[in-house]
Amino acid sequence: MATMNISLPDPMKSWVEDQIKTGHYSNASDYVRDLIRQDQDYKDRRETLLKALIAGENSGESERGIEEIWQDVKEKHGF
C-alpha cells in the first residue's frame, strides 16, 4: 500500500480525530479511505444518472401519457 502525507487545517484535523473517537474508524487513514470510497461511489452514480438523462433526452417525446408512465413506475417499484 502506498503512503501519502496530507496537511490539514487544525479544525479539520480535530474533525478527523473526533470521527476516530466514535469508533467507526480505527485511524485517520481508515477515515480518509472511507471518504474516497464514498466520493468514488458518488461520482459513479452521478455519471450513471447523467448518461440516463442524456439517453432519455435523446430518445424523443413519449407517446404515453403521464398517468400511464406513473402507473408503470408504481408497478415496477411495488407502490
Q: What is the pLDDT of residue 79?
A: 84
- Distance of alpha carbon 53 from the chain centroid: 17
Q: What is the pLDDT of residue 78?
A: 87
pLDDT in tens, 36-79: 999 999 999 999 999 999 999 999 998 999 999 999 999 999 88
Give yes or no for a contact between 25 and 34, defined as CB atoms under 8 angstroms apart: yes
**What is the average pLDDT across 16-45?**
98
d(CA 55, CA 71): 22
pTM: predicted TM-score of the whole model, two decimal places = 0.73
Q: Which residues contact 27 (CB under 8 A, 6 or more apart)?
A: 20
Q: What is the pLDDT of residue 21?
A: 98
